[in-house]
Amino acid sequence: MRINGSYDMKTSTTALFAAAIALVPLGAAAQDSDDPIVIPIHNWSSQIVMSNVVGQIFESMGNSVEYVTTDSQAVYESVRLGDVTLELEVWEGAFGASFRAAMEKGGIVDVGDHDAVTREDWWYPMWTKEACPGLPSWEALNDCAALFATAETGDKGRYLDGPVDWLKHGQERVEALGMDFVVVNAGSAAALWAEIGAAEADKRPVVVFNWTPNFAEAVWPGEFVEFPEWVDGCDKDPAVGPNPDALYDCGNPAKGYLKKAAWDGMAEKWPAAYAVLEKISFTNPQIAEMAKLVDVDEMEPEEAAEVWLEENQDVWSGWLN
Amino acid sequence: MAANPPVIAARNVWKIFGKAPEAYLRSLPAGRSFDEIRADGYIAGVRDVSITVGRGEMLVIMGLSGSGKSTLVRCFSRLHDITGGTIEVDGTDIGSLSERALIDLRRSKMGMVFQSFGLLPHRTVLDNVAFPLEMRGQDRHARRERALEVIRLVGLEGREDYFPRELSGGQQQRVGIARSLAIEPDIWFLDEPFSALDPLIRREMQNEFLRLQKMLHKTIVFITHDFDEALRLADRIAIMKDGAIEQCATPDQIVLNPATEYVRKFTEDIDKARVVHAGTLADPALRAEGAAVDADASVHDLARLLIQDQRSTIPVERAGRPVGAIRRDEALGILVGAR
Amino acid sequence: MAHLPAQTTQTARRRGALALTGAAGALMLLHYAGLLPAALHRLPPERVPDLAVWLDALFNFVKDDLGLLALTRWLTEPLQWMLDVTANLLFGKRRWPGIGPIPWTAIAAAATVLGYHLGGWKLAALAGGTFAWTALVGQWDIAMQTMSVLVIAAPAAFAIGLLLGIAAWKYAWIDRALKPILSVLQTLPFFTYLLPAVIFFKVGPTAGAVATTIYAIPPMILMTTLGLQKVSPEIVEAGQMSGCTRLQLLRHVYLPAARTEILVGINQVIMLCLAMVVLTAFIGMPGLGAKLLAMMGSFKLGRSFEIGVTIVLLAVTLDRMSKAWVARQPMHHERGTPFWRRHFALLAGLGLFVLFCIVAQFVDLAAEIGRRQSLSMGKEIDTAIKAFLNIGWVKATTGFLRAFLNVQVLIPFRNCLLWIPTPAFILLIAAFAWWLGGRRQAVIAGLFFALVALSGWWDRSVITLYSVISAVALAMLIGLPVAVLAARSARWSNRVLLICDTAQTFPSFVYLIPAIMLFGITDIAVIFSILIFAMVPLVRYTIEGLRTVPPEVMEAADMSGATRWQKLVKVQLPLALPTMAVGFNQAIMFAFFMVIIAAFIGTQDLGQELQRTLAGTDLGKNFVLGICVSLMALTFDLTILNWAAARKRQLGLG
């Protein structure tokens, strides 16, 4: 084993490779197939880097890996067909529905959760707080509703919700809590960023849908609005929550899952890789770090993955045992 | 001429354009005119044409645009399939030929020159001329040799590597002529070859053409709408109108005895003295004394003699043998345009 | 002679259109008075047939029972193999033959020489500059990933299009069968292709290549057929008299003589392939598009802008090179020209290529420009864009537009359209078709829109149509004056056309972000992004129409003492109108295309629902929505093109 102090990229990958070979348990069950493991890549940086990190781990185990860029919703159909082998970020909020529908059709398996939790809810960038100091309480937000008015919404404030297909029930919440807000759906994550970006210039107050972990935290510091805390059944039983007659009268669960999913043939075709996949689990800070390497430090994803693996050997080496 | 079997023999040829021409032709009552057929929704390109072309003869088909002359020549080469009648080439009914046999016939016996030249724009002069040879699968070396030979023949040496676009109209048509001669065809079709050219160039090309024909002795079907050109070149002229042949005869006869009013109109402004030859005017039954004139001399050529000579009849001989005599006043009448 | 019947058909048409409009008006009056039964205002939901389920079943039947999936998957294998080869050569994917990647300097040098060969120093500079820019800005790898798919997709589209074009020219029934299929393919929204492409051809470069190919085929078919039809009969007869067999005739006579049109077809294929670079990233196309989406996902405007510029540069380079190839006439060499002079470009290109391949072995920079050496200005552009959007008058203008146009015009217009009862709406559309195209067109239009009503997505369809109509109307308001002014001089025409080219090839996704930053997530942002796209054909065809008015006609107008304005109104516009109609039609088609993409901004139309079906769990619904878009687009397409063709015949221009 050759470990030296040089941080030259090529040497360190070699070292990584050597380390990995040494760590792979001898006599691991069946042999993995020679066919490439196909990892899908979507359009946000943490997922791209995470995919590269896992891909490089698989490669260090002797597997061949290929990346394919695809739409984050359409990918579940490809996983079912086995064209794509796995999916590393299944967000409860954004993709839970697609994932469950694919599970029902068959061909895809749940490979467990990351340690990371996800939160998706109303959010505002920090400058908003200057105009509306009572934040993050939702009542305070409602009192400043006029601050968020646009030409189209009249006196009411505008809340920019996520795309309809994410099923965030913003409209229902506004009605259940009697808020002076009009809900407008953005068509994509990029549309949300554009709105925040446009507001940033003159520090206009905005309240938009957002989630964590993602890159926006690093670019625009901000906070989630504190709604009445989530109670199980808030979406099914009107009696639950502050408004006895309405559903969705609480905030979203602050701890949504972040899952891994795989094609149901993976366990058989690449048993060793599958065993590792089952163990893989990232935390919120780790995911944020991956995103930062690309979004802030402007590295290319593969490079960022190499750096991350180099710096976090203790995290991933455990998964190989 | 009659002793030799004709090279091309067309009998009762019809070419009708329209929806169901064969069925229409079967039901067609005799003597239906061009306009009546058109009223039925059909166009009669060729109407009941019977004509022969002898070996080594130059037949000029003359007519205005839309008269069916181009259609007829395309029937001879079976670029058009005819609707009724038969066309024989060297005794073979070309309508019965298989596609393969037809292609072989064209590859070995026929050449054709087109009004707008029909050159392939992406090929050089050499490759255009060699095209028919290439099609019949001759090897590169042989076809190059032959192509250069015909290019020299039409006076284009040095231009072998030019593209058609880089040539003048007259030069382009020389390429067309060279191409049509490349396979040494027996039968040569020329579809208004000089119509697209300037008058001066046209004249030059006609001379060039006559020079070639003198060397090659092809059987020629030549299409033109220019009566002067027809008179200049033809052994026989067939005048077409509305798909049918109005008259088919030698230039002298057409000028002297137009068969219909339509033909006569063409001959009106013609200087007949330049067209009519002593041989045609000569009465074989007549004998005369004194110095003879050549049968191939035109009345115009004999003008001085006709005016000065006092004989009322003048003997005519062809190649030293007497063929009869002309009446002087008749010839003078032609000369001064009284007839 | 033809004047009289034309006059009478026109009155008949006007009468028919008026009758339908009257009926629609009556229905609206009833509705206004509150007398119209609800079932006549909108089709009651319980009456909506379950088209989605049927289509889903049909799709599954074709896919599994007829074995289409097995066939396409079998075809995917060789395609994958070819893509792997190009991937290895261009960006070094670890696949056979394992010799790539070719150094960027070698490719750039070869492209420069090719540019010189085709169009002299100017084109050489453009080609070399484009490739150098791509490398220097740090996008070489992703650009080559894109090219690795395009170099397979474009030739495939060319070959298939050529064969189909020949078949359609040869056999009338193939032509008749192909035409409607092509029309539907051209109007079907992209989101409807996406899932079938993934299912049949496996997510990744294969699906990307197939989607690109299918998208690029239609103009190739069209141009091939057109070219073959235009071959002069004399050339064909010359070929026949030269003893050509049928195959020889096609190979040596027809195809070379149709060269110009076929090359124009190739040019179109290339442009359409590049137009698909970003959209196909949704189904696994690697490279520039995927990177662009990732950059937009993390709000890196500058970097996405740079990728957009690369795509435009590549498109313009390939466009100019292929056009130069079209215009290029063969030139002979003087006898005795040595071999190296005859093939100077080929030898120079090869020589430089080999030279740089060797140099790259020793000089790293010649082989690859890494991130650190790249000259990307992403951050600076970010700042510049944000600064621009923050300028006082820019904000004032957009604020005014937002307050006035959106609140006073667009939203009331949308509500008005939504208020109209379904049957009245269908009658109005039919009246429009009757007016332009006669009774047959009216029946078709009515039928198509009735189908849309049956689909159960009426309101969303109306909102889609509303965006299209508003955008095209605005595009005309802005585009027509620009085009008329530009058409007055050749120089300005060329400048404006260059802007058109750029706007058309610049990936539409890049517009979306500035559109939102300018106007927020509102209808204006949606319409603004459609507008840019829809204005291009309007301007292009108007300029072409005006500039191709025969000069003798213009001279005659001058000699009649017409003023400039009179000439424009009385002479140029009437003669240019059929051509302009084609541009208008294309503007509508582009708008239908773009309105679906605008779902990424945030809309409430069919696009939004289509986006929702992308998870693939509801294919039937996806098809129903796609067909709704296609039916609406086809109605306009058929009506307007029909009118333009008839009008051209009337004017003797066609």
Last residue of a domain, one of B271, B288, B315: B271
Query: Is residue B151 one of the residues assigned to a domain?
Result: yes
Contact C386 A197 (CB under 8 A): yes
The yes-or-no reply on C/A contact (3 CB pairs or more, < 8 Å) is: yes
Of A320, A220, A226, residue with least CA distance to A280: A320
* Whether B218 and B69 share a structural domain: yes
Residue B137 is encoded by which pair of tokens?
A: 């699968």
Which CATH code for domain A9-117+256-320? 3.40.190.10
Inform me whether the pLDDT recorded for A28 exceeds 50: no
Please check whether residue B17 lies inside any domain of the structure.
no
Give the pLDDT confidence score for residue C423 in this predicted structure. 93
B207 and B312 together in one domain: no
Nearest CA in chain B to C259: B122
Is B152 inside any structural domain? Answer: yes
pLDDT higher than 80, residue A99: yes
End-to-end CA gap in chain C: 18
Interface test with A, best of C516, C603, C604 (most A CBs within 10 A): C516
Domain end position, chosen among C288, C316, C347: C288
Phi, psi of C152 (to 5 degrees): -95, -45
pLDDT at res. B3: 53
CA distance A76 to chain C (A): 7
Q: For residue A290, how many other CB atoms are within 10 A of its CB?
A: 28
Q: Which site among A47, A63, A68 would you substitute to test the C interface, given the most C Cβ atoms closer than 10 Å to its Cβ? A: A68
Do residues B92 and B8 make contact, with C-beta atoms less than 8 angstroms apart?
no
Are B124 and B191 in a shared domain? yes
- My answer on whether omega of the bond before A136 falls inside 30° of 0, hence cis, is yes
The amino acid that residue C401 corresponds to is L
Tokens 């605008």, residue located: C598
C617–B contact, CB cutoff 8 A: no
Tokens 């003078």: give the residue: B332
Compute the distance between CA of residue A124 and CA of residue A132 in angstroms, rounded to an integer: 11
Q: CB distance C332–B77 less than 8 Å? A: no
Residue A8 binned pLDDT confidence (cut-offs 50, 70, 90): very low
| Chain B touched by C253 (CB under 8 Å) | yes
**What would the mean pLDDT of B257-276 be, rounded to a whole number?**
90
Q: Find chain B residues with C-beta within 8 A of C328's C-beta.
A: none
8 Å CB contact of C259 and B131: no
Q: What is the pLDDT of residues B188-239, one digit of tens each?
A: 999 999 998 888 889 999 999 999 999 999 999 999 999 999 999 999 999 9
Q: Which residue segment(s) compose the domain that B292 sits in?
A: 273-336
Contact pairs from chain B to chain C, CB under 8 Å:
87
- Please say if the pLDDT value at position A25 is more than 50: no
- Chain A residue closest to C599 (CA)? A187
CA distance B236 to B222: 10
pLDDT of A9 above 80? no
Contacts of B78 in chain C (CB under 8 A): none
Instruction: Let me know if residue B40 belongs to a domain.
Output: no
With an 8 Å Cβ cutoff, is B114 touching chain C?
Answer: yes
Give the separation between CA C212 and CA C206, rounded to whole angstroms: 10
pLDDT confidence of residue B81: 93
Tell me which long-range contacts C167-176 makes (C-beta under 8 A, separation of at least 24).
C168/C221, C168/C224, C168/C225, C169/C224, C169/C225, C169/C228, C169/C229, C175/C225
| B5, part of any domain | no
Q: Is C413 in the same domain as C531? A: yes
Interface of A with C in 89-148 (CB under 8 A): 95, 97-98, 101-102, 105
Does residue C613 sit in the same domain as residue C473? yes
Instruction: Name the CA dihedral angle for C314, C315, C320, C321, rounded to a multiple of 10 degrees.
Output: 60
In angstroms, what CA-CA distances link C635 with C296, C446, C629? 35, 9, 10
| Chain B residues with beta carbon closer than 8 angstroms to that of C257 | 120-122
d(CA B217, CA B219): 7
Q: What is the pLDDT of residue B339?
A: 52
Residue from B290, B281, B273 nearest B323 by CA: B281
**Is C281's Cβ below 8 Å from some Cβ in A?**
yes
C138 within a domain of the structure (yes/no): no
Residue C574 covered by a domain? yes
Q: How far apart are the first and last CA of chain B?
A: 30
Do B263 and B131 belong together in one domain?
yes
Looking at the structure, do residues B213 and B105 belong to the same domain, yes or no? yes
Q: Do C248 and C396 lie in a common domain? A: no
DSSP string computed for A22-46 = HHSPTT-SSPPPSSPEEEEE-SSHH
Are residues A145 and A179 in contact, defined by beta-carbon separation less than 8 angstroms?
yes
Judgement on whether residues B251 and B140 belong to the same structural domain of the protein: yes
> C332 and B162: CB-CB below 8 Å?
yes
Q: What are phi and psi of C137, to 5 degrees?
A: -85, 0
* Among candidates B121, B135, B161 on the partner chain, residue whose Cβ is nearest the Cβ of C243: B135
Strand order in the sheet with B84-89: B43-53, B8-17, B84-89, B92-93
In this structure, are residues B8 and B187 in contact, taking their beta carbons and an 8 Å threshold?
yes
| Distance to chain C for B160, nearest Cα, Å | 9
Chain B contact for C257, CB < 8 A?
yes
Residue B226 belongs to what H/E stretch?
none
Is B43 a member of any domain? no
* Measured distance CA(C460)–CA(C401) in Å, rounded: 25
The number of CA neighbours under 13 Å toward the Cβ of A280 is 26
Angle at C12 between CA C6 and CA C17, to 5 degrees: 125
Same domain, B253 and B302: no
Question: What pLDDT is attached to residue C358?
Answer: 87
Specify the CATH number for the domain of residue B317: 3.10.580.10
Q: Is the pLDDT of residue B2 over 50?
A: no
Residue B13 lies in a domain: no
> Using CB atoms, which residue from A98, A186, A294 is nearest to C615?
A98
As for how many domains chain C has, the answer is 2
B293 and B207 in a single domain? The answer is no
Q: Where are the domains of chain A?
A: 9-117+256-320, 119-224
Cβ-contact B62, B87 below 8 angstroms: no
Please tell me which of the candidates C238, C245, C331 has its beta carbon nearest to residue B118.
C238
In a shared domain, residues B230 and B314: no
User: Residue C284's Cα: distance from chain center in Å?
Assistant: 20
Instruction: State the nearest Cα–Cα gap between C246 and chain B, in angstroms.
Output: 10
How many Cβ pairs closer than 8 A exist between chain A and C?
186
> Which H helix or E strand runs over B242?
none
Q: What is the pLDDT of residue B224?
A: 95
Query: DSSP secondary structure string, C349-411?
Result: HHHHHHHHHHHHHH-HHHH---TTT----HHHHHHHHHHHHTSHHHHHHHHHHIIIIIIIIIH
Distance (Å, rounded) from C-alpha A141 to C-alpha A45? 31
What's the angle, vertex CA C121, arms to CA C117 and CA C122, rounded to 5? 110
Would you say B239 and B262 are in contact if contact means Cβ atoms under 8 Å apart?
Answer: yes
Chain A contacts of C396, Cβ < 8 Å? none
Residues A15 and C614: their CA atoms lie apart, in Å, by 42
Please give, rounded to a whole number of angstroms, the shortest distance from the CA of A308 to a CA of chain C: 18
DSSP state letters, B164-221: GGGS-HHHHHHHHHHHHHTT--SEEEEESTTTTS-HHHHHHHHHHHHHHHHHH--EEE
Q: Is residue B239 part of a domain?
A: yes
Token couple for B216: 């090659």
Using the beta-carbon criterion (under 8 Å), do B163 and C335 form an inter-chain contact?
no
Considering the domain architecture, whether residues C399 and C514 belong to the same structural domain is answered as yes
Query: Burial level of B272, CB count in 10 A (0-12/13-18/19+)?
Result: buried
Give the neighbours of chain B: at least 3 Cβ pairs within 8 Å. Answer: C
Instruction: Return the pLDDT at C617.
Output: 67
**CB atoms inside a 10 Å sphere around CB C47:** 10
Interface contact C243, partner B, CB < 8 A = yes
Q: Are residues B319 and B259 in the same domain?
A: no
Asked which of C261, C288, C315 is the last residue of a domain, the reply is: C288
Q: What is the CATH number of the domain that holds C540?
A: 1.10.3720.10
How far apart are the CA of C421 and the nearest CA of chain B, in angstroms?
Answer: 49
Chains in contact with C, where contact requires at least 3 CB pairs less than 8 Å apart = A, B
Q: Which residues of chain C have pLDDT under 70?
A: 1-7, 370-373, 615-617, 653-654
pLDDT at residue B168 in the model: 93
Q: For the CA atoms of chain A, what is the radius of gyration?
A: 22
Those of residues 177-236 in C touching chain B at CB distance below 8 A are 232, 234-235
Which of B271, B294, B316 lies at the terminal end of a domain, its last residue?
Answer: B271
Strands ordered across the beta sheet of B219-224: B110-113, B187-191, B219-224, B58-62, B236-241, B244-249
Q: Is the peptide bond before A163 cis (omega within 30 degrees of 0)?
A: no
Q: Which of B247, B298, B248 is nearest to B276 (CA)?
A: B298
| CATH of region A119-224 | 3.40.190.100
Specify the DSSP element, H or E, that contains C276: none
B245/B299 same-domain check? no
pLDDT at A24 over 60: no
Both tokens of B128, joined, read 């255009």
In a domain, C329, yes or no: no
Q: Which of C187, C52, C183 lies closest to C457, judged by CA?
A: C52
pLDDT at residue number C467: 95
C-alpha B292/C-alpha B309 separation (Å) is 12
Q: Distance (Å, rounded) from C-alpha B261 to C-alpha B252?
A: 17
Displacement of CA C429 from its chain's centroid (Å): 25
Q: What is the pLDDT of residue C428?
A: 95
Assign 3-state DSSP to chain A and report helix, strand, coil percentages, each to 5: 45, 20, 40
Determine the distance from the C-alpha atom of residue C600 to the mean position of all C-alpha atoms in its chain, rounded to a whole number.
19
Q: Is C296 on the interface with A (CB under 8 A)?
A: yes
List the single residue in C232, C242, C333 with the smallest CB-CB distance to B161.
C333
pLDDT of res. C464: 95
Domain coverage including residue C28: 12-37+392-651
∠A45-A51-A57 over CA atoms, to 5°? 140
The two tokens of residue A106 are 């068959």
Residues B60 and B110 in one domain: yes
Distance of alpha carbon C434 from its chain centroid, rounded?
28
| C-alpha distance from C333 to closest chain B C-alpha (Å) | 7
pLDDT band at A1 (very low <50, low <70, confident <90, very high): very low
Q: Does C8 touch chain B (CB under 8 A)?
A: no
Residues near A183 by Cβ (< 8 Å), separated by ≥ 6?
A159, A161, A170, A171, A174
User: Do the two domains A9-117+256-320 and A119-224 of this chain adopt the same fold?
Assistant: yes
Tally of CB atoms within 10 A around C128: 20
Q: Which domain-ending residue is among C251, C268, C288?
A: C288
Question: Can you say how many angstroms the Cα of residue C496 is from the centroid of all Cα atoms in its chain?
Answer: 19
Beta-strand pair B58-62/B219-224:
parallel
Digit-coded pLDDT (tens) for A117-157: 888 899 999 999 999 998 899 999 999 999 999 888 888 99
Hey, of B131, B177, B181, which one would you mutate to test binding to chain C, going by the most C CBs within 10 A of its CB?
B131
Distance CA C93, CA A185 (A): 41
Residue C108 falls inside a structural domain: no
Backbone angles phi, psi at C191, to 5 degrees: -65, -15
